[in-house]
Chain A
Amino acid sequence: MSMSISTASLRLQIIIPLFFVIIAGVAVTMLTATMAADGQRDLSRIVEQALNARAESNTLSIEIGKLEKDVGDFMDMTTFIPTETISWRFHTRDITVSKTLTRLSQNLLSDEIGDEVEKLDGAYRKWRESIKVALGLLPAKFIPTSEMLSREHDEVAAFTKRLNLLVTVTAQSKTKAATQVLNDITKMELAIFGIGGLIGMLACWYVARRISDPIMGVTSIMNVLANGATNIQLPERHYASEINSIIDALEIFRNNAIELAEAHKETETARSIAHSMSRQDPLTNGPNRRVFTEHIEKLTKASATRTSSTGLNRFAVLLIDLDRFKPINDIYGHAAGDFVICQVAERLQAAIQTNGVVARLGGDEFGIVFSNGHISNIRKSAEDLAAQIVKLIESPIHSDIVHAEISASIGIAIYPDHGANAQSLLRAADLAMYHVKQHGRASHSVFNPELDAKMRATAQLESDAREAVRNNEFVPYFQPVINIEDSSIYGFEVLARWQHPEQGFVPPDRFIPIMEQFDLMNDFTSNILRKACEAARHWPKNIKLAVNISAGEVCDPSTPMRLMSILNEYDLQPTRLEVEITETALVKNFETAKSVIFALRQAGIRVLLDDFGTGYSSLSYLKELTVDCLKIDRSFIMTMDQNRESKNIVLSMLSLAQSLDLDTVAEGVESALVHDEISQGNATFGQGYFYGKAVPADQAVKLLDTYSEKLAKIG
């Protein structure tokens, strides 16, 4: 089928018939326009001639009338008029009349006019001769009487009148005839345009049929396709190539539509799963944090709208955090952890029954919205509930895979006393919970607004601290580290000091966590180190600088390079830098920390393990990684002279280090007694008020100059 009909461009299908119709239309239009123009020209000529003839014939009447009056006036003989005057006036009129007559005789409007003009001319000539004689312009022996003049004038006037009439009638008839011709042409034009328009419309209709029929076929199939049906019968191929392209495209569309429908089905399934997941905790199948928050919002809003009639509908928000849950995961594995979580969820649900909603907020944290239906004693009810929960959770969870003994720390916030919306209520409950955590766990606590005030101060400090980092407000202080053997200054520990504009001196243990929390440690350390280097670059080259770096930095592979580049800036050898790291840093990401420490040591930077003896104090680290020096925590050193255990621990740690071939720093040396003891215990270095407190850079320089002297005095 498609092969038998030659496929032509749709454009040609439209253009060729229209082209012929337009050509024919233009030709006919030009023909009729030419005819109309001819007719118009004829009419214009006739009208012009008629107008001229009428104007001239009018002129004739007027001039003849004037001439008659002139002659009458002359013949009245009331005043003396010289011959020249008479002659001039007569000739003027005569010339006008004669010329008009000549023009009229040349007017081609009709032959009758010519004949009439001839007659008039004859009569006029006769009268003219009489006038000339009567006015004495032509000598004669017989002078015309006024009767003769008026008779001859009457004849002229009669001819003029006839001429006027004839001109008028002829002009009318001729104009009418010409107009008729023009009208006929116009009618013919109308007829031609009518027929032409009909033909054009038929042509348009034919073309439209040729184009629209196949397009309609395609369109109906497209509609079927758009309605989702894919079992369509493709239309037969068409003689127009464009339509064929559409049919081809249609086929592709159909195939795509089938694929699309399948893909859509899959997507729908995925979406419904995702939707339920977004609202459901996957583990407990209970509400998640989002639903929990929404529920609180709903309650607050519902309560707010009822305010006027029944007062606020009070309710409690409980945040439950499991204590000692993490080790379960570590020890028994995640499946066990999940089991415990599920068990806890069940117990919580059992505890509140239908008086609220239990949600898992994440990890080992649960939330409860609790309402006992009463208004006054919600706080007490909540505390009772919390106590009950604490008791319930403390009951061991036992199964084939796990035996867990956990407890719960519960923070309680009451609406509307502790917050007007979900966010503030959760925060209040969170604060209360942390309060419990800080004070021994396995208990509950109701939010106390004072906690909030403290928290606000912390927040303020946070923003100030961040500001301080940006403004580089931290100043390095230098606390000397003494070589126990010869009592010389081995180096300085660089300690950051921050003079807060309002709160005054802020200890590092308050701002360092903030730095860590907001990921400012890198900048902070770099700034302090720069300032310290600036100060130390002119100091003797054997003086070391010990800088604390945070857990984050220890786990950051770029830290060695950063520190090196800062040393480079100030032209300091890497061997002049010591880095103090804490055990907690190692806990975070041991493998990375290990590589960072290795890199630092490779570069020549000594690494110190700070606060040794506190925390987990896992000696396994010492096995796993290599450090240069142990810094024994001050809590042991400071209590050495009073506490026998402390002294023994310090001495054994020193001996341990010695046996591992590590240097040691005794931190917190405040008396000569302690100094003696650690020196007997073979501590390598000492640090503390006994040797000198942390001082600004300029005093540190003086200290370098005067230290030996000073120490000698002390000693």
Chain B
Amino acid sequence: MKFSLKFLVSVLVLCCVVGPSSAANMDELKKYKRPLTIPFDGVTPYSIQLATLGKMLFFDPRLSGAKNMSCASCHNPSFGYETPVDLVVGANNSTVDRHVPTLLNMAWVSPHFWDGRSKSLEEQAVGPITSPIEMNGNFKTIISEFRMIPDYVKWFNIVFPEDGVTQKNILTALATYERTIVSGWSPFDRWVDGNEHAISLGAKRGFELFTGKAGCSNCHTGWNFTDNSFHDTGLNTSDIGRAKYEPDNLKAMHAFKTPGLRNTIFRAPYMHNGSLPTLRRVITHYEVGGIKRTSRSRKMEHFSLTNGERNDLVSFIKTLTAEKQEASLPVLPN
């Protein structure tokens, strides 16, 4: 009798703790429901041939001046389409000044680059290819060379019957492929779909913190965990960021685009300059709030977490990791 009473009590307590929180989250969770289709609205229409061609170009080092780098050199699929280093070394042994941003879920992201200087992926792709400190490529050279490759010529003619191998077409193909790069289904997605057992209790608590006390979801919102906006997170940096293109906007100084959080654990180090090597460091950074300056986002509010809460938060972040990793290489034409 004693025992059963104890048991009843504990069940009731559990209901009080978990039940309401779950119920409260129901509406919140709907915001995180991931889409099943990739939007190609207003961009070059999708075809698998176009995407395939784009994938080949993405992995083709012949787009670089020294033919030693491809897009995938820095956007490595195994590291969440990033590079596991704070700043990469590009062509001519030059260091690139920002950390490699992910290419995951780019179909849902605009504008591009940390500072959002490109509106579309097509436009974005020109940058790294032709940048002397990155791939150092020359489109004239690339096109004349590609026109010597029969399969490329054939395939370009299939996909672009009108003009074949051109810069625009190369960029279109690359962009189309990049739009198909979608982060895989994760435990979190299953939880969103209603599977209560998909993630741990700690992760659920982490989600509570993420959307509540820690205020992460103020910017990292939606299924891709980004508001596609620019914020100064108070990092110690000389990079003016978005201010270059919005000089009149006080808040644009040192502001960088909010990155999505899918497959985050593959993508260390973090921040636009790769200055924070671990997620815990990232969390403590936001607890402290960084440097207090004019440009710092108003969303950067001070809060403090216990160690357990930090662990919960990390647990939650980890539930955004895709259950299946895809990294097949295309066969390139010669």
Contacts and interface: CB of A to CB of B under 8 A. Distances in A.
Contact of B39 (A134, A142, A148): A142
Contact of B37 (A79, A135, A144): A144
Contact of A77 (B37, B39, B55): B55
A551 to B, nearest CB: 145
Nearest to A74: B48
Interface in A134-174: 134-136, 139-148, 151
B36 A83 contact: no
B41 A142 contact: yes
A451 interface: no
Given A136-B46, A143-B180, A146-B182, A80 B36 contact: no
Interface residues of B, number: 33
Nearest to A147: B185
Contact of A80 (B46, B56, B177): B56
B191 to A, nearest CB: 15
B40 A141 contact: yes
A80 to B, nearest CB: 5
Nearest to B41: A141
Nearest to A83: B49
B11 interface: no
A78 B180 contact: no
Interface stretch (B121-129, B236-244, B326-334): B326-334
B330 A79 contact: yes
B290 interface: no
Nearest to B56: A80
Contacts of B37: 142-145, 148
A82 B41 CA distance: 24
A76 interface: yes
Contacts of B41: 141-142
Interface in B300-334: 326, 328-331, 333
Interface residues of A, number: 25
A78 B331 contact: yes
Nearest to B331: A79
Nearest to A85: B49
B3 to A, nearest CB: 43
A151 B328 CA distance: 21
Contacts of B40: 140-143
Contacts of A74: 48
Given A76-B328, A146-B182, A135 B48 contact: yes
Interface in A75-97: 75-83, 86
A148 B36 contact: yes
A145 B181 CA distance: 9
B151 interface: yes
Interface string B258-294: 0000000000000000000000000000000000000
B32 interface: no
A355 B4 CA distance: 144
Contact of B49 (A80, A134, A142, A146): A80
Nearest to B185: A147
Nearest to B52: A77
A669 B41 CA distance: 181
Contacts of A86: 48
A200 B52 CA distance: 86
B33 to A, nearest CB: 12
B51 interface: yes
B282 to A, nearest CB: 27
Contacts of B329: 78
A252 B180 CA distance: 122
A85 to B, nearest CB: 10
Contacts of A147: 34, 36, 182, 184-185
Nearest to B155: A80
A135 B37 CA distance: 13
Nearest to A144: B37
A142 B38 contact: yes
A136 to B, nearest CB: 4
A83 B151 contact: no
B51 A80 contact: no
B159 to A, nearest CB: 9
Interface string B13-51: 000000000000000000000111111110001111111
B53 interface: yes
Interface in A44-86: 74-83, 86
B42 to A, nearest CB: 8
A511 to B, nearest CB: 138
B176 to A, nearest CB: 10
B158 interface: yes
B36 A81 contact: no
Contacts of B331: 78-79
B161 to A, nearest CB: 12
A543 B34 CA distance: 170
Interface string B116-153: 00000000000000000000000000000000000100
Nearest to B182: A145
Nearest to B53: A80
Quick one: which of A83, A144, A147 has the most chain B CB within 10 A?
A147
A144 B330 contact: no
A139 B44 CA distance: 11
Contact of B38 (A80, A136, A145): A145
Contacts of B45: 139, 141
Contacts of A144: 36-38
A139 B45 CA distance: 8
A78 B58 CA distance: 12
B36 A134 contact: no
B317 to A, nearest CB: 20
B157 to A, nearest CB: 11
A708 to B, nearest CB: 161
Contacts of A135: 48
A78 B330 contact: yes
B52 A79 contact: yes
A80 B185 CA distance: 26
Contacts of B151: 80
A79 B37 CA distance: 23
B184 A136 contact: no
B271 to A, nearest CB: 28
Nearest to B54: A77
Interface in A515-572: none
A83 B45 CA distance: 15
B83 to A, nearest CB: 22
Interface string B53-77: 1011000000000000000000000
A143 B48 CA distance: 10
A79 B34 CA distance: 29
Contacts of B53: 80
Quick one: which of B51, B177, B329 has the most chain A CB within 10 A?
B51
Contacts of B177: 77
Interface in A108-145: 134-136, 139-145
Contacts of A134: 48
A331 to B, nearest CB: 159
Quick one: which of B46, B182, B326, B330 has the most chain A CB within 10 A?
B46
Nearest to B176: A143
Given A82-B158, A141-B41, A147-B182, A77 B51 contact: yes
A577 to B, nearest CB: 147
Contacts of A139: 45
A423 to B, nearest CB: 127
The 5 nearest A-B residue pairs measured at CB: A142-B37, A136-B47, A148-B36, A77-B52, A143-B38
Given A77-B328, A82-B158, 18 more contacts: A74-B48, A77-B48, A79-B52, A79-B331, A82-B49, A83-B49, A86-B48, A136-B47, A139-B45, A141-B40, A141-B45, A142-B37, A142-B41, A143-B37, A143-B180, A145-B182, A147-B182, A147-B185
30 contacts: A74-B48, A75-B48, A77-B48, A77-B51, A77-B52, A77-B55, A77-B180, A77-B330, A78-B55, A80-B52, A80-B53, A81-B49, A81-B52, A82-B158, A83-B49, A135-B48, A136-B50, A139-B45, A141-B39, A141-B40, A141-B41, A141-B45, A143-B40, A143-B46, A144-B37, A144-B38, A145-B35, A145-B36, A145-B38, A146-B182
